[in-house]
Structure 1
């Protein structure tokens, strides 16, 4: 849980992931042969089992949904640009951290008070363009003295919390620091295990703004197989129906993505993973989403094509300040990935490509 706390409380706006990358490097280096990066800042660790075996790449993503300073009003209020998919209803009155060159500044997201709104206005959703951030500055000049300038990242505030039922954990940026932690955990479990391949495990940048690190990092790794490590939508909260998310429940096993807007998974790789889960007695769940996507959406199109699959966890309240997931799902996802990696020798890889 120490790793989860460090990763989730770190700041990692898209394109400004250096704080998270530093934590990942510290955890990955003792577990790997070498650390590789691309020119955008993605990071991945290499661990050689059999140098002649296929290259297996696993990646979470370093970035989280965040905001960016665009300008400061004459009265010292910050106007901002969303970075990633924010829903306006989860934003108002939330605390944020403005990361400036002179240090961090706490602020709160505000809007026009409901007390002065006409009745018909109160029933309307406040649009993001009408919101602002109050940092306690009285003017644009004072905000500038504080160190604020356009381009500064703005990060949600939420302390990492192990809940009363200790199987549940809450924090910001579980999308996708949970995937980052899984990338580390898989390497940790492979330390004393023979595996007939070369494993590359780490995290990409700028997933939340267009899967950008997933476009560049494969040029460094040149993978044969790819697993995206990401979160999915939990269907076990009030208001969700079995028609919407029939299988995605916290604590009932890792999520296997059958379809999203960015990719249809490689069927033979999917079958290998499901057969392995059955053999190992690991429960799995399935997710199918008409919208959204993961890094697999880009990596599977690299070169001549990379058989890919997305594996993750049912997570409540993603793309907000605070999300909740279940520790059993994390542990079972690690167990499943390690079991699959142990199977992926040259012969098995060739069978996946036997069309």
Structure 2
């Protein structure tokens, strides 16, 4: 499942291939599937008709690029879809999804160090000065390949279990790990009797403004929402404790604050109490920047108490990210126990 989810490309606005993978795994473990008009999918496990509606949200999309122009020499100009730091781009392999349906591999071009001036080596090359080389010798040949402005570009990194088998490297962990958690929670609760109706959701266009979470929340009108996403791992050289204290393998991150959401205190305390009751490790996180789909769902309808729970991940928004299997397992266990406890009595206490 991890391999299929991460190696399938679903750049922002083009998430359908990932939705089909998620559907494959969700369909056997739910009562019904629903879709919104932006391409999101919701698997429903029905509970009492008068029970609360709980929305467990992941996003299908990954950061990528969009072709904007083809030079006369056949090189592709592009813009980013989602947040990129240009340092991670040069000389990286990419795949261009052409209008003809063919996928063409290419590389983001870079100058060799032999011809760089010393001051240029210290500069960050801006994305609008970069290009993609697909091996075309002219604009006409690139067009003949099926390339045109508007084609999306994804990054290449095969799913890899590292030497320590608990660590997994892949592209698009942001947010295919969230999709995997939703799938596994639905699977483990398939034969459970719940006091709530559970919606296991994959939404679109998170990376460009939390858009699909808004349309899905409008469709479902949930009483409680959780956003599952990746978070910052602070356990690599160069990251200070002021930037992140989290470590991979130390449990899910309960997000206190980010630029999209101040976490709901009652819901947060409820989740922490469940984690402690079942001895599930967790860690707190707060970010001055960034956000999750909870930033959109908490303002849906009349307001839905929301909480973001994230997986500490190294090197997010790059070609290759690394996370820890135990964090997947502990987050699944936490959600299973939380959802089993969510009923009208609990939900009514989670208010402002």
TM-score normalized by the length of structure 1? 0.97
Q: Is the contact between residue 109 and residue 131 of structure 1 (CA under 8 Å) also seen in structure 2?
A: yes
Which ranges in structure 1 are unaligned for 5 or more consecutive residues?
Answer: none
Alpha-carbon displacement from aligned partner over 1:193-241 (angstroms, at most 9, x marks no partner): 2210000002110000111101111111110000001010001101122
How far residue 59 of structure 1 moved from its aligned partner, in angstroms, is 1.0
Q: Is the contact between residue 167 and residue 327 of structure 1 (CA under 8 Å) also seen in structure 2?
A: yes
Which ranges in structure 2 are unaligned for 5 or more consecutive residues?
Answer: none
CA RMSD of superposed structures (Å) = 1.0
What is aligned with 1:177?
176
**Take 1:112 and 1:214, find their aligned partners in 2: how far apart are those partners?**
40
Q: Is the contact between residue 41 and residue 205 of structure 1 (CA under 8 Å) also seen in structure 2?
A: yes
How far residue 141 of structure 1 moved from its aligned partner, in angstroms, is 0.3
What is aligned with 1:228?
227
Alpha-carbon displacement from aligned partner over 1:24-53 (angstroms, at most 9, x marks no partner): 111111111111111110111110132221
**Take 2:149 and 2:221, find their aligned partners in 1: how far apart are those partners?**
37
What SS does structure 1 have at the residue aligned with 2:262? coil
What is aligned with 1:53?
51
What is aligned with 2:91?
93
1:18 to 6, 16, 19: 16
**Take 1:111 and 1:252, find their aligned partners in 2: how far apart are those partners?**
38
What SS does structure 2 have at the residue aligned with 1:217? helix
- Alignment of 1:126 with 2:118, yes or no, is no
**Take 1:201 and 1:36, find their aligned partners in 2: how far apart are those partners?**
10
What is aligned with 1:271?
269
Alpha-carbon displacement from aligned partner over 1:315-336 (angstroms, at most 9, x marks no partner): 0000000000001101110111
Structure 1 runs (4+) deviating above 6 angstroms are: none
Q: 1:1-355 alignment to 2 at 5 Å?
A: 3-102=1-100, 103-246=102-245, 248-353=246-351, 355=352
- Give aligned pairs, total: 351
Alpha-carbon displacement from aligned partner over 1:147-180 (angstroms, at most 9, x marks no partner): 0011111000000011111111110000000000
Q: Is the contact between residue 36 and residue 220 of structure 1 (CA under 8 Å) also seen in structure 2?
A: no
Q: Is the contact between residue 251 and residue 327 of structure 1 (CA under 8 Å) also seen in structure 2?
A: yes
**Take 1:69 and 1:129, find their aligned partners in 2: how far apart are those partners?**
11
